[in-house]
Amino acid sequence: MNGNAVLVQEACTPDRHQRDPVGRVQIVLPPGTAQFMEYPVVSTVNQAERSLVLHNHVFDDPGKLVTDSIESTNHPVIRTGGNLMHTTDRALNIDPRIEDPDKLKPLSRRGFIGRLVGGVAGATAFLSMSPKTYGAPAEEIFDMPGGARADDETYWEGVADQFLIRKGVSYMNTGTRGVSPRSVHQAQIEAVERVNSDPNMTWSTYFFPAMNEIREKMAAFVGANIDEIAFTNSTTDGMGLGFMGIELKRGDEILTTNYDYGWVKNMMKYRAKRDGLVFKMVDISEPRFRTLENSQEVVNAVEAGITPRTRFLTICHINYTDGFVMPVKEICDLARAKGIITLVDGAQPPGMMKLDLHELGCDMYAAAGHKYMLAAQHTGFLYVREAAADRVQPLVYTGSPDSDMSGAGKLVQRGSSSYSDRIAMGAALDFHNHITREAVEARLRYLTQRLIKGLKAVEGVTVYASDNPRNSCALVSFSIRDKKPSDIVGSMWYGPSWNGPNTYLRTVSASGDFSAVRASLHVMVTAKQVDALIDM
């Protein structure tokens, strides 16, 4: 057995011999297993490699539960730490606590394929996939010229319905993991099927043409040239390629802030120890940095941390803790004037805000595909400014020694990549482009200010996100007097019972005593759900 819940007697269809005296199926849980688990509780059957979904379950005594009914599903499911359950089939990219596989059932394979216009571009076929009606056919709603008003709830509820999220779940954790809309989900599955059903598939026939198309589309999406874009596995992967690939000498200083991502700081500390570099952090933890009308004080704080020995500077575009939008352009202009190479951690903004990386002025920019881009896990990109490309060398290189080494592509010549994951990235770009980047950003800023203003009106709530729209977008951190952030997150998900309010938030912390709850808003979140969070 490789499941976490074990049937007393194994079978895909339990008969009366597997049931207790009142006709229920008995399940024995391994020692240490939590006494309640999110929907669904499952047991993976050893030989059939299918999962068993248990319904109407209760505990008779510690370590044992019983259920009234059981059904088989096609994809094994496992339980991981923190009671998280997810499918082991990476192509599905579903967390059953949040997403509803049943929403895929009305979409036949033929029906989906028939909507494809051709190639990756066909992934925008989400237009006619909504089972709901909001006063006009879905095609009319989504074909509104120029997108929609930020407060047009009919339109945005139609957009939200393109996701597989379970009814009653308010998903507000895109800053950690973005859920894919159905068009992206289906495009990824079709790509997996294409790879596995065509034994003659070659990289030259499928992979490279698709990658060039998606790479060009990504470059246009973020305001870059195609030769400045390299696909990666995540933001952290891109940060590693960028930082570890530049030449630094013993005694050189590398600079970041104390609000930057912990894993990136660990990476910097590791190289500092290995190569004799000096690791430094700028303290931007004071609350005054969050309430500025003019971000020049942040620029001044960074400038104060620069010395003649500073060679490298990295900052977050948006601090993942409090959602503060950093003055990236001003800081990058400052660094370039001093000959300092810059790498921006852009885990959040792509898919959240309209980007122009040329205008932003950074040397490198690393981002994720699985957050606000709404693409698959294990996707991301690294931008390397054309004029800075010679300063960054690949860590692993498997291309031809005669290949052109002038662009960003040299950094990811390191073996095979996942075709289906890349196709999902292209489908996600199509999804965003159809709604338009401008409309998405306007909607997210609207929801952000709605949540900030609502929370600030609640007694005992402290909001850390700036109420200046220029300094905040989509990430709203807050705390409640005399309540631990972890308790708030737990109560908003579980409530008094296992199927409580079902609002998915997370905790965040930073240097000093900063600890808060973070709500990450995206287009699957409705105004009604924002208001419900305020009223909780």
Residue 238 sits at the vertex; the CA angle it makes with 235 and 239, to the nearest 5 degrees, is 85
Sign of CA dihedral 31, 77, 15, 55: positive
Q: What are the CA-CA distances from residue 394 to residues 241, 293, 335, 406, 416 (Å)?
A: 7, 41, 23, 11, 16
Q: Which residues of 39-70 are buried (b: 16+ CB within 10 A; e: fewer)?
A: bbbbbbbeeeeebbbbeebeeeeeeebbbeeb
Report yes or no: 265 and 256 within 8 Å, Cβ to Cβ. Answer: yes
pTM, two decimal places: 0.76
| Half-sphere exposure in the Cβ direction for 289 (13 Å, CA) | 21
User: Per-10-residue mean pLDDT for the chain, 536 residues long?
Assistant: 35 41 46 36 34 43 46 37 34 62 50 33 34 29 54 94 92 96 94 82 67 92 96 94 96 95 94 98 83 80 97 96 94 97 98 97 98 96 95 81 72 78 95 94 96 96 89 95 94 68 90 88 97 92
d(CA 295, CA 291): 9
pLDDT tens for each residue of 439-455: 999 999 999 999 999 99
d(CA 361, CA 340): 12
Report yes or no: 290 and 477 within 8 Å, Cβ to Cβ. Answer: no
Three-state DSSP class for residue 26? strand
Report yes or no: 258 and 285 within 8 Å, Cβ to Cβ. Answer: yes
Q: Which residue has the tokens 């394979």?
A: 109
Q: Give the phi and the psi of residue 482 in degrees, each rounded to 5.
A: 70, 15
Domains of the chain: 6-88 (no CATH), 223-417 (3.40.640.10), 439-535 (3.90.1150.10)
